[in-house]
Structure 1
Amino acid sequence: MLDRHRDLRFGVVELFSAWVPLLLVTLDGRFSFYEQFGGRPLAELAMRPRDYSRRQVRLASFGFERPALLAALAGDLFMFGSDWPHREGLRCPVEDFVASCGQSPESVPTLYEANTRWLLGS
Structure 2
Amino acid sequence: MSDGLRRAAYLHLGAWGEQHESEEPQAGLCPAVRVFDWLFYIGTIPSYQAPRLDAELSWKLLDLYKERPGDLPSVTAGPADLRAFIERHQGKYLLMEEQPPQVGKPCN
TM-score class, shorter-chain normalisation, is under 0.3
- Relative contact order (alpha carbons < 8 A, sep ≥ 6): 1 or 2 greater? 2
Task: Judging by fraction of residues, say which structure has more helix.
Answer: 1
TM-score (norm 1): 0.23
Task: Judging by fraction of residues, say which structure has more strand.
Answer: 1
| Greater radius of gyration (CA) | 1
TM-score (norm 2): 0.25
